[in-house]
């Protein structure tokens, strides 16, 4: 009986914490309770890895306290810091949905407390057609498509910048637009880069650079 | 209508759908015939529907800043276009032009949202498969970004081949890498 009271109290506390998440702001109390019942609280000491890039495991993390670094680990060593996130953030959404390995590493920058939602639990809620699962899925969907747009935007900026560096403006103007839409459609960028750089245009570009260098040298 | 049923049943988007659920979504699709050269969606305009190509070929085009239209892809029977429009309110990333005559099945966001509001089992499944398609695409974009992070110099391959100065390359690479950090 006593444990039940403690569980009840803990869940009420979790509901209060979940309510503070911007993504969950519009969820009714009842649905937050269903979500909270399916979650588990975990703690990570500063410096500990919460998820490792490339590893299996499809739990989604709701950060309650502490900051977390999101890192891209590069082959042959070295990390790139993609983001530092804090309370109110949700991590690991894509693996929750598709069950595929993690695309980045998450490391606790400070002592961190999270609420974890496992894929099994989530699928179960979804199969039962819990309202909260439908609502959350819609949010995840919006977030996934937003991330696609953002990632495309970064690649696009890069290409624009490369274009400036190249000083072959018109060629890259045409590439830029093409690549942007190609990415949005999920076609392999490398194929397209090659197609565009293949043949006449590439020769044109080479000739232009050759000419530029000759002018500089003379 | 029987042909639409078997058409939808064969698509990956409806892979896990029961017969009943296929029947439910079937009713929401509008059949639209198009002629060669017809424009089905404009780049930059808000999208409010997803299209499934039933027959014919549709060119996915984009206009560059110089006003040149580039064909990015040709899509045919069974391919899905613009599923993002069912979820977010974003702009179309390309213009769709009919290369041949044919037909598309159109599902509007309004009807999709109606299905969701009814909490129909088919809505749960469709939302799931659209999100998964998004995940797949996100991972693909992510791999592209990762490729650049690992080999930023590949952005400058033509220049390196053309004898661009090494220090100029590394300077340029440094500038580009800053963009990948949020």
pLDDT in tens, A13-24: 999 999 999 989
Name the average pLDDT for chain B. Answer: 85
A181–B72: do the CB atoms touch at under 8 Å? yes
Residue that has been written with the tokens 């690549």 in this structure: A179
B138–A210: do the CB atoms touch at under 8 Å? no
Can you tell me the distance from the alpha carbon of A106 to that of A53, in angstroms, rounded to the nearest whole number? 8
pLDDT band at A210 (very low <50, low <70, confident <90, very high): low
Can you tell me the distance from the alpha carbon of A141 to that of A129, in angstroms, rounded to the nearest whole number? 17
pLDDT score of A199 more than 50 = no
Under 8 Å between Cβ of B87 and A137: no
The partner residues of B31 in beta bridges, in order of sequence, read B105
Comparing CB atoms, the residue among B60, B72, B134 nearest residue A145 is B134
Chain B residue closest to A123 (CA)? B128
Residue that has been written with the tokens 């989604």 in this structure: A60
Can you tell me the distance from the alpha carbon of A74 to that of B149, in angstroms, rounded to the nearest whole number? 8
Surface of B (60-79) touching A: CB under 8 A:
60, 62-66, 68, 70, 72-73
Beta carbons within 8 Å of A31's beta carbon, 6+ residues apart: A130, A131, A132, A135
Comparing CB atoms, the residue among A72, A148, A213 nearest residue B137 is A148
Bin B163: left if φ > 0, else alpha if -120 < ψ < 50, else beta. Answer: left
Determine the distance in angstroms separating the CA of B162 from the nearest CA of chain A, rounded to an integer.
Answer: 7
Q: Does A85 touch chain B (CB under 8 A)?
A: no
Determine the distance in angstroms separating the CA of A124 from the nearest CA of chain B, rounded to an integer.
Answer: 13
Can you tell me the distance from the alpha carbon of B171 to that of A169, in angstroms, rounded to the nearest whole number? 19
B72–A72: do the CB atoms touch at under 8 Å? no
Q: Does B139 touch chain A (CB under 8 A)?
A: yes
pLDDT score of A176 more than 60 = no
pLDDT band at A124 (very low <50, low <70, confident <90, very high): very high
Can you tell me the distance from the alpha carbon of A74 to that of B151, in angstroms, rounded to the nearest whole number? 10
Q: What is the mean pLDDT of residues B122-134?
A: 92
Which residues in B lie closer than 8 A to residue A158 (C-beta atoms)? 148, 155, 176, 179-180
Ordered alpha helix ranges (H), chain A: 2-19, 29-37, 93-98, 119-127, 131-166, 169-184, 189-197, 199-217
pLDDT in tens, B3-33: 899 999 999 999 989 999 999 999 999 999 9
pLDDT band at A2 (very low <50, low <70, confident <90, very high): low
Determine the distance in angstroms separating the CA of A2 from the nearest CA of chain B, rounded to an integer.
Answer: 38
Beta carbons within 8 Å of B69's beta carbon, 6+ residues apart: B61, B62, B63, B95
Determine the distance in angstroms separating the CA of B177 from the nearest CA of chain A, rounded to an integer.
Answer: 8
Q: Which of B117, B105, B127 is nearest to B17 (CA)?
A: B127
What ipTM was estimated for this complex?
Answer: 0.77
Q: Does B126 touch chain A (CB under 8 A)?
A: no
The secondary structure of residue A74, as a DSSP letter, is P
pLDDT score of A168 more than 70 = no
Surface of B (82-121) touching A: CB under 8 A:
84, 87-88, 90, 93-94, 116, 119, 121
Q: Does A177 touch chain B (CB under 8 A)?
A: yes
Model-level pTM?
A: 0.74
Chain B residue closest to A93 (CA)? B135
Residue pairs between chains A and B whose CB atoms are closer than 8 Å? 162
Chain B residue closest to A97 (CA)? B132
Residue A97 is encoded by which pair of tokens?
């949905």
Which residues in B lie closer than 8 A to residue A80 (C-beta atoms)? 149, 177, 180-181
Can you tell me the distance from the alpha carbon of A158 to that of A172, in angstroms, rounded to the nearest whole number? 11
Q: What is the mean pLDDT of residues B168-176?
A: 73
B131–A137: do the CB atoms touch at under 8 Å? yes
């Amino acid at each position: 009986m006593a444990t039940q009271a403690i569980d009840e109290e803990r869940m009420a506390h979790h509901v209060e914490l979940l309510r503070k998440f911007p993504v969950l702001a519009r969820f009714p109390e009842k649905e937050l309770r269903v979500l909270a019942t399916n979650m588990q609280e975990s703690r990570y000491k500063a410096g500990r890895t919460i998820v490792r890039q490339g590893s299996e495991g499809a739990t989604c993390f709701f950060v309650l306290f502490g900051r977390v670094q999101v890192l891209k680990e590069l082959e042959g060593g070295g990390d790139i810091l993609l983001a530092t996130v804090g309370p109110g953030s949700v991590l690991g959404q894509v693996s929750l949905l598709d069950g595929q390995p993690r695309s980045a590493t998450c490391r606790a920058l400070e002592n961190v407390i999270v609420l974890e939602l496992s894929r099994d639990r989530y699928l179960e809620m979804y199969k039962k057609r819990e309202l909260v699962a439908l609502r959350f899925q819609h949010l995840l969907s919006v977030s996934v498509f937003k991330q696609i747009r953002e990632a495309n935007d970064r690649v696009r900026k890069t290409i624009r910048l490369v274009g400036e560096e190249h000083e072959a403006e018109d060629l890259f103007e045409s590439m830029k637009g093409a690549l942007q839409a190609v990415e949005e459609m999920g076609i392999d960028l490398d194929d397209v880069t090659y197609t565009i750089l293949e043949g006449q245009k590439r020769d044109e570009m080479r000739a232009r650079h050759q000419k530029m260098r000759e002018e500089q040298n003379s | 209508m029987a042909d639409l049923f078997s058409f939808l049943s064969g698509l990956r988007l409806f892979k896990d759908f029961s017969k009943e659920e296929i029947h439910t979504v079937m009713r929401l699709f509008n059949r639209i015939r198009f002629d060669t050269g017809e424009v089905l969606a404009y780049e930059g305009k808000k999208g409010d529907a997803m299209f499934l190509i039933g027959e014919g070929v549709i060119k996915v085009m984009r206009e560059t800043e110089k006003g040149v239209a580039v064909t990015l892809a040709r899509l045919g029977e069974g391919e899905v276009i613009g599923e993002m429009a069912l979820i977010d309110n974003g702009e179309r990333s390309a213009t769709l032009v009919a290369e041949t005559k044919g037909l598309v099945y159109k599902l509007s966001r309004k009807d999709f949202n109606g299905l969701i509001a009814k909490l129909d089992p088919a809505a749960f499944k469709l939302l799931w498969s659209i999100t998964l398609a998004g995940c797949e695409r996100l991972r693909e974009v992510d791999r592209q970004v990762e490729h650049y992070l690992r080999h930023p110099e590949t952005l400058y391959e033509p220049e390196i081949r053309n004898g661009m100065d090494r220090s100029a390359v590394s300077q340029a690479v440094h500038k580009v890498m800053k963009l990948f950090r949020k």
